[in-house]
């Protein structure tokens, strides 16, 4: 639908000129790409228009007999009347609309556009068809005429290519992202696209594919419908679609013929339970245009989900909808009527600004259009709008509210805040279950209420009301089934020659057996649908097949799934989808071991060197502390220096056996001794337990310490043929390929380990843990793992990329694990003959280190420190009390020879302090007692002398 703004009317050309102008389309478009655009424009032969003309004509080009056209025509007339009645717009300039019918023909539409362009138009509103919009946009670019469209939703109508194209409706780019969010919200990963094979259909589905790919989903099949296809062609297409796995259909067609698809689908039984139909805005346009909708049509659409352009519920919109029946009661209303109405107002307001800025409308001829090269095609009537750039700039800068809500354009010339309603067809009509906007994604709240909040399109924020699906089902359908083409699931199973308990060939159906097969079958039985399947052995049976090649066969679509002992590694996950691991795995090192020889110094092994050193130091330290605390109180801790030194050593080490004969009498000494005996008790108990373990448990040693020692050595390493271990050692650990020795089965494993590297064997074997458990059991525990498991992974079933069956199987495997079924299957197949200790004991790791006891030593040390502090404080206090009365002889010396004393009576001496420390506590107490008695007598005698003197005086 196109409206053209003209400043003066021009009469229709003759019928011959119409034919010639049709031919000119083919000549003009390629000419635009190659011509020299640096031309000088001559002034138009017609006189220039005045800045404010009295009349502005608007041309309209659209299909009258269409859902969009029947709604747009009355809306355009209403907009024209409202603009002319509003004295604040255009200030007296009359707006007139001239209509042109395109009859659903791109050719006639293009010719009508050229005829209107011939009349010096300054703007165009339309067209209805995206195909016509592509062609007319070239004309608009050449003539500098802004082109506004309220019906062309094709995402490829880009402002980068079509500089003068402007869309006043929503871009299908956003609608396809809305559908993508809905598909992921419902838990589906694959859809089938059914679309009309024109510019709008192809380009819209292309955007949908890109949007799905960003979310790790995809379009599994594109079903294109020829424009105007009959029911027979549609039936053939839907039959082929119904043979495919996906049951989620996205329908993107024209509103005038799209209902035929659902009519055919109903006859084929494709509108029942298990199917999902998602329609773009064409369906809501068709339903809105049918008033009322007949029951037969509604019966076809039960359970369909449709999208509709969302327009804000403004007062202007409500008034316009209320007066719609008075405008054209026979014409049904749809959202395109609103966009058509707003488009006329947008042009009118832009023209008003254009004239208020004192701009004039002028045209000039394009010299290239005059170069006909002798052709009878007359293009000289087409003129360039000189002020087109300025007028387009004004339109892009407009910001006002219309019946569709705020009208404003972003940097890519799309309407800001695109939004859609999500509808569910049920009962007698559509029911709104939510909204979508690029600001908040799916929501049950109108988008305009969320624009003031920060954008939030996270998955956790998505929400819709309940949907009734086809077949009156309330639970979202699974979205896929096994194809109805008679094919069963092709399952590749590795034909192993070793470790056949995991997977192997079987003569009985289904042809394979083993632990992995039982797990797969048990998971299949938990699925809520049948899975026809065929097991196919992969490999020649002479050697284990390459599992990387097996994965490549799945990627190449030669198999649907690979079932077996397949390790989940990073490189493989790039090409296939694995299920949840059903058994843990990881690479370990297996090496020959021998019994450790007994050592005469085994009694030293329980403790590390650091532990022995700290323990011995604390024995001496605590003995010294106890001697200091007991020396003044206990006669057993006194005597000659030699005896006291022996006492310290004897007391210290005798506490190890709780056989010390010296008694502690001081409170501080007893406190320290109690704490120390507790520490000794813990150390003795730990030492005894560790030594018992070392002497009674068999100690095995190996010259290979683990993967690190293998990397630094140059000895050969054995790996299982066909597994990922070889590539891991070479690519990740940089081990030379020449050192890697592939081994076929368990016999070669055992033989290579027994011979050793000097006899042509291997120093160790690197393999996955499940295989090693079987190997150790079958070798009577002759070999053990050394070092730690240096990779962490698991086994899973490999499906083709984006296979929905992989998700269901993962859920089933988790259910098997929770119910204990996996453990039962494990015991059935992997009941080992000998239970071996997987890893040899490491004497260094079993030694008790200081790290295990530093808390005890810390407590003991703090206790000793506190006891010493209290002891010396008490000694110093006693020393201070003894200083003033150091004896008569000392006092006489101090009085007689005051000059020889370098310090006062109270100045402490370290020698004197040691004397006090060395004295027995009883002696100190006796001296202090005597000192107190003398002091009391002195005080009494002084008081008596003073009393007698007073009597004499009196």
pLDDT in tens, 230-242: 999 999 999 999 9
State the CATH number of the domain containing residue 157: 3.40.50.2300
CA distance 188 to 483: 17
CA distance 16 to 858: 111
Number of residues that make up the chain: 954
Q: Name the residue among 705, 680, 679, 692 with its Cα closest to residue 606.
A: 692
CA distance 715 to 808: 46
Asked whether the predicted pLDDT for residue 951 surpasses 50, the reply is: yes
The CA dihedral of 80, 82, 84, 87, to the nearest 10 degrees, is -150
Q: Are residues 158 and 200 in the same domain?
A: no
Token pair in block for residue 750: 């055992």
**What three-state secondary structure class fits 433?**
strand
The CA dihedral of 109, 110, 111, 114, to the nearest 10 degrees, is 120
- Whether the CA torsion 876, 878, 881, 887 is positive or negative: it is negative
* Residue 906, in any domain of the structure: no
CA distance 356 to 428: 51
Q: How many domains does the chain have?
A: 5
Q: What are the angstrom distances between the C-alpha of 184 and each of 189, 681, 717, 802?
A: 7, 66, 48, 13
CA distance 931 to 936: 9
pLDDT of residue 773: 87
DSSP string, 190-204: EEEEEEESSHHHHHH
Q: pLDDT confidence of 496, banded at 50, 70, 90? A: very high
Instruction: Identify the domain boundary among 769, 793, 817.
Output: 793
Asked whether the predicted pLDDT for residue 277 surpasses 50, the reply is: yes
Token pair in block for residue 372: 């006909």
Asked if 218 contacts 212 with a C-beta cutoff of 8 angstroms, the reply is yes
pLDDT of residue 905: 41
Mean pLDDT of 652-660: 66
Q: Are residues 369 and 396 in the same domain?
A: yes
* Residue 915, in any domain of the structure: no
Percent of the chain clearing pLDDT 70 (strictly above): 79
Q: Are residues 202 and 298 in the same domain?
A: yes
Q: Name the residue among 211, 189, 178, 169 with its Cα closest to residue 68.
A: 169
Q: Are residues 648 and 683 in the same domain?
A: yes
* Residue 11, in any domain of the structure: no
Cβ-based neighbour number of residue 712 at 10 Å: 8
pLDDT of residue 22: 39
Token pair in block for residue 71: 């709604």
Mean pLDDT of 862-884: 78
Q: Are residues 76 and 157 in the same domain?
A: yes
The CA dihedral of 812, 817, 819, 820, to the nearest 10 degrees, is 140
* Residue 35, in any domain of the structure: no
Q: Are residues 381 and 449 in the same domain?
A: no
Q: For Cα atoms 219, 285, 84, give the angle at the middle one, nearest 5 degrees.
A: 135
DSSP secondary structure letter of residue 294: P
* Residue 631, in any domain of the structure: yes
Q: Name the residue among 372, 255, 456 with its Cα closest to residue 20.
A: 372
* Residue 154, in any domain of the structure: yes
Q: Directed axis angle between helix 609-630 and helix 641-654, to 10°? A: 130
Q: Which residue has the higher pLDDT, 941 or 53?
A: 53
Token pair in block for residue 378: 């007359």
pLDDT of residue 765: 92
CA distance 404 to 881: 102
Tens-digit pLDDT profile for residues 319-355: 888 888 776 656 678 899 999 999 999 999 999 998 8
- Beta-bridged to residue 742, according to DSSP, are 719
CA distance 268 to 707: 63
Q: Are residues 270 and 325 in the same domain?
A: no
Asked whether the predicted pLDDT for residue 488 surpasses 50, the reply is: yes
CA distance 770 to 502: 9
The CA-based diameter of the chain, rounded to the nearest angstrom, is 165
pLDDT of residue 39: 31
Residues spanned by the domain of 639: 600-694
Q: Are residues 628 and 608 in the same domain?
A: yes
Q: Are residues 67 and 158 in the same domain?
A: yes
Instruction: Identify the domain boundary among 793, 809, 834.
Output: 793
CA distance 59 to 443: 40
pLDDT of residue 662: 59
Q: Directed axis angle between helix 130-143 and helix 106-117, to 10°? A: 20
Q: Are residues 630 and 743 in the same domain?
A: no
pLDDT of residue 8: 40
Q: Directed axis angle between helix 388-396 and helix 335-356, to 10°? A: 120
DSSP secondary structure letter of residue 851: G
Asked whether the predicted pLDDT for residue 17 surpasses 50, the reply is: no
* Residue 1, in any domain of the structure: no
Q: Are residues 392 and 343 in the same domain?
A: yes
Instruction: Identify the domain boundary among 672, 694, 716.
Output: 694
Q: Are residues 298 and 359 in the same domain?
A: no
* Residue 931, in any domain of the structure: no
State the CATH number of the domain containing residue 521: 3.40.190.10
pLDDT of residue 635: 61
- Beta-bridged to residue 842, according to DSSP, are none
Tens-digit pLDDT profile for residues 519-528: 999 999 998 8
CA distance 170 to 47: 40
Asked if 447 contacts 440 with a C-beta cutoff of 8 angstroms, the reply is yes
DSSP secondary structure letter of residue 732: I
């Amino acid at each position: 639908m196109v409206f053209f703004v003209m400043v003066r009317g021009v009469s229709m050309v003759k019928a011959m000129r119409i034919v010639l102008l049709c031919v000119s389309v083919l000549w003009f478009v390629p000419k635009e790409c190659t011509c020299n655009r640096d031309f000088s424009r001559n002034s138009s032969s017609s006189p220039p228009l005045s800045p404010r003309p009295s009349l502005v004509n608007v041309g309209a080009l659209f299909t009258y007999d269409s859902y969009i056209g029947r709604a747009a025509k009355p809306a355009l007339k209403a907009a024209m009347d409202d603009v002319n009645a509003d004295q604040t717009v255009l200030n007296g300039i009359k707006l007139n609309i001239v209509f042109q019918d395109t009859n659903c023909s791109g050719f006639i539409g293009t010719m009508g556009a050229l005829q209107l362009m011939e009349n010096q138009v300054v703007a165009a509103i339309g067209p209805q068809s995206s195909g016509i919009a592509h062609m007319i946009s070239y004309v608009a670019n050449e003539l500098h005429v802004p082109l506004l469209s309220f019906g062309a939703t094709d995402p490829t109508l880009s402002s980068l290519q079509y500089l003068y194209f402007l869309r006043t409706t929503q871009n299908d780019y956003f609608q396809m992202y809305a559908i993508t969010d809905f598909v992921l919200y419902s838990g589906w990963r694959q859809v089938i696209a059914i679309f009309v094979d024109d510019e709008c259909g192809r380009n819209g589905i292309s955007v949908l594919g890109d949007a799905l790919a960003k979310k790790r989903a995809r379009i599994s099949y594109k079903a294109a419908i020829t424009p105007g296809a009959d029911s027979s062609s549609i039936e053939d297409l839907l039959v082929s679609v119904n043979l495919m796995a996906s049951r989620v259909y996205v329908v993107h067609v024209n509103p005038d013929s799209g209902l035929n698809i659902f009519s055919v689908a109903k006859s084929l039984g494709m509108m029942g339970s298990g199917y999902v139909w998602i329609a773009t805005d064409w369906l809501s346009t068709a339903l809105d245009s049918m008033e009322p909708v007949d029951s037969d049509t509604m019966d076809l659409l039960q359970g369909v989900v449709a999208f509709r352009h969302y327009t804000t519920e403004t007062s202007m919109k409500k008034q316009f909808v209320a007066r719609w029946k008075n405008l054209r009661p026979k014409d049904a209303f749809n959202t395109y009527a609103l966009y058509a109405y707003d488009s006329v107002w947008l042009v009118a307001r832009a023209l008003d600004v254009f004239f208020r800025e004192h701009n004039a409308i002028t045209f000039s001829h394009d010299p290239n259009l005059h170069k006909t090269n002798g052709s009878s095609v007359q293009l000289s009537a087409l003129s360039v709008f000189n002020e087109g750039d300025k007028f387009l700039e004004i339109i892009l800068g407009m910001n006002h509210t219309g019946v569709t809500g705020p009208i404003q354009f972003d940097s890519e010339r799309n309407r800001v805040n695109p939004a859609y309603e999500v509808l569910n067809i049920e009962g007698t009509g559509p029911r709104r279950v939510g909204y979508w906007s690029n600001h908040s994604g799916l929501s049950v709240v109108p988008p305009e209420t969320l624009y003031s909040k920060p954008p939030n399109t996270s998955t956790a924020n998505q929400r819709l009301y309940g949907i009734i699906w086809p077949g009156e089902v309330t639970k979202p359908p699974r979205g896929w089934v096994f194809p109805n083409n008679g094919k069963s699931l092709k399952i590749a199973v590795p034909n192993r020659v070793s470790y056949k308990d995991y997977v192997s060939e079987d003569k009985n159906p289904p042809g394979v057996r083993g632990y992995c097969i039982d797990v797969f079958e048990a998971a299949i039985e938990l699925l809520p649908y049948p899975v026809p399947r065929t097991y196919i052995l992969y490999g020649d049976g002479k050697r284990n097949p390459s599992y990387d090649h097996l994965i490549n066969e799945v990627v190449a679509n030669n198999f649907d799934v690979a079932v077996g002992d397949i390790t989940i590694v990073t490189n493989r996950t790039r090409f296939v989808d694995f299920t949840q691991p059903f058994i843990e795995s990881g690479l370990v090192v297996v090496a020959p071991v021998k019994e450790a020889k007994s050592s005469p110094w085994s009694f030293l092994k329980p403790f590390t060197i650091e532990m022995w050193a700290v323990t011995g130091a604390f024995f001496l330290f605590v003995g010294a502390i106890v001697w200091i605390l007991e020396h003044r109180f206990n006669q057993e801790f006194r005597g000659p220096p030699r005896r006291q030194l022996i006492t310290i050593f004897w007391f210290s080490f005798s506490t190890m056996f709780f056989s010390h004969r010296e008694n502690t009498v001081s409170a501080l000494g007893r406190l320290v001794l109690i704490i120390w005996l507790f520490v000794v008790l813990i150390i003795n108990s730990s030492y005894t337990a560790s030594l018992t373990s070392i002497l009674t448990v068999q100690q095995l040693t190996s010259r290979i310490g683990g993967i690190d020692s293998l990397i630094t050595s140059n000895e050969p390493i054995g790996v299982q043929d066909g597994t990922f271990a070889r590539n891991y050692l070479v690519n990740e650990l940089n081990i030379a390929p020449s050192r890697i020795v592939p081994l076929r089965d368990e016999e070669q494993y055992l033989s290579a380990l027994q011979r050793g590297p000097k006899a042509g064997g291997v120093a160790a074997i690197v393999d996955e843990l499940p295989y090693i458990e079987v190997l150790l059991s079958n070798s009577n525990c002759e070999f053990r793992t050394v070092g730690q498991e240096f990779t962490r992974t698991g086994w899973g079933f490999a499906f083709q990329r984006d296979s929905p069956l992989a998700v269901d199987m993962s859920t089933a495997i988790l259910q098997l694990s929770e119910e204990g079924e996996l453990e039962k299957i494990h015991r059935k197949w992997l009941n080992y003959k000998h239970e071996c200790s997987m890893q040899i004991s490491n004497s260094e790791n079993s030694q008790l280190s200081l790290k295990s006891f530093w808390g005890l030593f810390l407590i003991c040390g703090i206790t000793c420190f506190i006891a010493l502090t209290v002891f010396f404080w008490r000694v110093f206090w006693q020393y201070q009390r003894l200083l003033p009365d150091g004896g008569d002889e000392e006092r006489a010396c101090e009085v007689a020879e005051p000059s020889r004393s370098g310090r006062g009576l109270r100045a402490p001496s370290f020698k004197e302090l040691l004397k006090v420390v060395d004295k027995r506590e009883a002696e100190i107490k006796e001296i202090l007692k005597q000192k107190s008695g003398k002091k009391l007598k002195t005080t009494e005698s002084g008081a008596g002398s003073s009393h007698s003197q007073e009597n004499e005086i009196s």
